[in-house]
Structures are given as structure tokens and as C-alpha cells.
Structure 1
Amino acid sequence: MRLARSWKQRAVAVFLTAVAGTLGAGITASPASAATCSDVDVVFARGSGEFPGLGITGTPFVNSVKQGLAGKTVSSYAVNYAADIAQTSAGAGATDMTRHVRSVAASCPNTKFVLGGYSQGGSVTDISIGIRTFLGSGETIPADLAPRVAAVVVFGNPLALFGQKITTASPLYGPKAKEFCNLGDPVCAGGFNVFAHLTYGFDGSTANGASFAVSKVRALG
């Protein structure tokens, strides 16, 4: 099991190193707006090799959530972490995600949260909601704040390489989680189709994920 895990970890790192240039090239990071007691705060962690910001998947996801929640105020926060190719920054990213949620929750008692991540950002999200991964450890969101997290949506999450899903690994967040993993995606499906990992932002996945998040937010009132 240890050998298999090491092989998969190396495979993910090698793949992400190969596509880092693709992820970073031509991307204009969307600035995250500070949460000032909005109705909903979308907290998203970008993928490895992307420039700081919401990234190629987080940007369309956040935009779709905002469109779906017309009539509500929606802020967004891009998790502040290195998103390094070496896959060593997910723990620090989880700590930043957690501290942001705790800070906003303390200042804005009525704000609900939508959490999300892409690629290594999926691992950031996993760790923040208390799921152990091979990509590190970090601070986790206190259990008493879980009811204020309306939805968790991840894309190309490496957790799937180990046969795990948020829906089954987390009693607190599983019922409110949605996970997208394209067929052939090397990062979550163990495949060899690089393109499959890069298309969540325009193949309908982010729109579908946003619709799920919107339905969960509206269910909370």
C-alpha cells in the first residue's frame, strides 16, 4: 500500500509539473473581493501552477454562483497559498481557508459559505474540512461552523486516487458535497488525458457545480 501510494504521489507531481506552464500561461487572476458581511462567501483554492487568484476553474465557478444567487450578496475569497508544483502547500492553503472562514464567521454571523477547490486546491479543501490526505496537514474548520457551510464543490481532486470521496469520507460535509472528475484525468482518475484535467472551467462542470451550490444555499434560507 505504501509503495502504491508513493507511486501515485509521484505520478501526480510529474503530471502537474508537465502542465504547469499551461495552467499559468495567459491566465488573468480575478481579484477576490473581501467578505463584508455578504449573504454568501465563496472560498476557492486554485490549482497547482496557477497565478494567485481564483484561477481557471474558480473564476467561472464563482461567476456562476453569483448569477444563480441573484438577489443575494455574494463575495469571494481566493485562498492565499503557494499552489506549488512540489505539492507541499496544500496544508498551508487549508490553514488559510480555515482562518478566513473563522474570521468572516466571527464578524458576520449571518454569512453562509461555499467552499471549493481545483486540483491541489481540492486537497486544500479536503484538509480544511477535516479529511486526511497525503498532501499535508493544516488547520480545520471548527465543527460548530459546519452548519454555515452550505456546499463544498471540488474539481479534479487528488483524493479520488486513493479511492476516497468527500461524500463518503466526511460525515459533516459529505451530504453537501459535489465532486467532479473527468474520465481520463490524471490527477483524480489515474488516466493519461491532460486535456481532461484542464477543461472543468468550460465543459459545463463549473456551471453544474454552481447550480448544486446555489440549491444548497437556498435550502438554508
Structure 2
Amino acid sequence: MALKTGTLISFVAMAAAATGGGLAGCPGPSGGSGSNPANPAGCADVEVVFARGSGELPGLGITGTPFVSSLTSDLAGKSVTSYAVNYAADLAQTSAGAGATDMSNHVVSVAAKCPNTEFVLGGYSQGASVTDIAIGIPTLLGSGTTIPASLAPRVAAVVVFGNPLALYGQHIPTASSLYGSKAQEFCAAGDPVCANGANGVAHLSYPTNGMTTQGAAFAAAKVKSS
């Protein structure tokens, strides 16, 4: 790992402090238009399950919120709901495993009730690590329950931003045989968390640098082709 864990913790703490001690998020669910008549009442065509970054307040977070908004627009005609992963997102980087368990449990629960709902998984910063663990990629930031392989076909896309996995020399598209072909990672140039850079502002740029829009377009294309 090119960036020591202590350095990562210090950077994330600095980023949270710079935004007032917590980054406000917008909690799910959110709704889109349209519905799948084959699904039971209350079940969406697509459920986005997103994990916020370290230090952010509960909800979808600064990156998840615009990502879900763009994806909902891109999937006009389909119903889209969202779930904000319920985990501590602590600055000490120790809660990713618990977050993965919540993400996995939520997917299992919704999949059982909604047989035709597809899923888009995503996360930002430590939330990307949550996603890594949930899809079965080991990291140094914890361990938790993974999504059963039998449900992998129900996951249309995986999109993460500022993923610390890159600091271990790994990336979801090549590290996961189940999800790699439907995954995309976004890392801003100079981001200390995924590019071993020194530009702290880069790690906070995903809501405004166009990458959430690009990620949503990628996910929408995967949903439409599934």
C-alpha cells in the first residue's frame, strides 16, 4: 500500500474538518417514474445501494446524491429507488466491514421481496471500500458479509469513486471475476486516497468534476443492456 493508513486517516479527518466536521448527505430512498409490472407493489425496477465517505453525515453523501440524481434521469421510464448504507463511516477507517455487511444484507432482503429488481452498487472513499468488501474483494480496511454469488446477476453495475483499493494496486474490473465486467472506478488526478497524490481538494471534487454524471451514464447503460 503506497499510502500508509495513518496518512489516509489524517487526510480524511482534515477533509471532514474543512467541511464543518461532517459532510451533509441526502438520505434515500428517492423515486423515479415508471414501474415494472412484474414486480410486486413497492418494488422498483432499480435499487441504488450507495455508501458515503468517511466523516459524512448519514445519507447518500456529497457524491452519492448527485450520482443517484443523474442515474434517475438517465433511466427515465424506469422506477429508481436508493438506499444509503447504514454504517459509521468513521474517520478511523474501521467501519467498512460493518458497512459491507449492511450493504449485503440489504441487497439480500430486497432481492427476496422484489424478484425483478436490479441493483446498482456504489460508494465513495471509505464507502468504496464498503463496496469492495461486499462484492468479495479483500481489503486492509476490514471484513464483512459479502453478497451471495447467486445474486451477482441481479447487480447490473458497480460504480465507485476515490477507491482506496487502488493504493493496493488493485481495481474492481480486474480483481472481481463476478463483477469486474460491469464495474467502473473513478479517481480524480492527484487524489491521495486512490492515486497516491497530494491534492486533497481532488478527493472532494467528484460531485463537481463530471465523474458522477459519467458514472451514472455507465450504470444506466448497463441496466438497459441487462
Smaller-chain TM-score bracket: over 0.9
Aligned partner of 1:12 in structure 2 is: 8
Residue in 1 that maps onto 2:28:
32
Matches of residues 63-78 of structure 1 in structure 2 within 5 Å? 63-78=69-84
CA 1:185–1:106: 2 relative to 1, 3 Å: same
Between Structure 1 and Structure 2, how many residues are aligned?
A: 216
The Cα of 1:26 is off from its aligned counterpart by 7.8
| Structure 1 position 22, deviation (Å) | 3.0
Give 1 or 2: higher helix fraction: 1
Please tell me whether residue 46 in structure 1 is matched to residue 52 in structure 2. yes
| Equivalent position amino acid for 1:153 in 2 | V
Compute the displacement of 1:119 (Å).
Answer: 0.2
In the alignment, structure 1 residue 105 sits paired with structure 2 residue 105: no
With structure 2 as the length reference, what TM-score do the two structures score?
Answer: 0.92
How far the C-alpha of 1:20 sits from its partner, in A, is: 1.4
Change (3 A) 1:154 1:23: farther
Higher mean alpha-carbon deviation, 35-44 vs 97-106, is at 35-44
- Alignment CA distance shift 1:26-1:93 (3 Å): closer
Aligned to 2:183: 177
**Is the 8 Å Cα contact of residues 45 and 125 (structure 1) preserved in structure 2?**
yes
1:158 and 2:164 equivalent? yes
Deviation at 1:173, TM superposition (A): 0.4
Aligned residues: CA RMSD: 1.5
Q: Given that residues 124 and 161 in structure 2 are in contact (C-alpha distance below 8 angstroms), is that contact kept between their aligned partners in structure 1?
A: yes
Matched residue SS, 1:42:
strand
1:31: Cα distance to partner?
2.1
Q: Secondary structure at the match of 1:114?
A: strand
The residue number in structure 1 matching 2:18 is 22
2:4 maps to amino acid: K
Q: Output the CA distance in 1 between the equivalents of 2:101 and 2:18.
A: 27
Q: Tell whether the 8 Å contact from 1:8 to 1:161 is kept in structure 2 after alignment.
A: no
Counterpart CA distance in 2 for 1:114 and 1:44 is: 8
Query: Within 5 A, what are the aligned runs for 1:124-135?
Result: 124-135=130-141
* Contiguous gaps of at least 5 residues in structure 2: 32-41
- Asked if 1:167 corresponds to 2:173, the answer is yes
- 2:222 equivalent in structure 1: 216
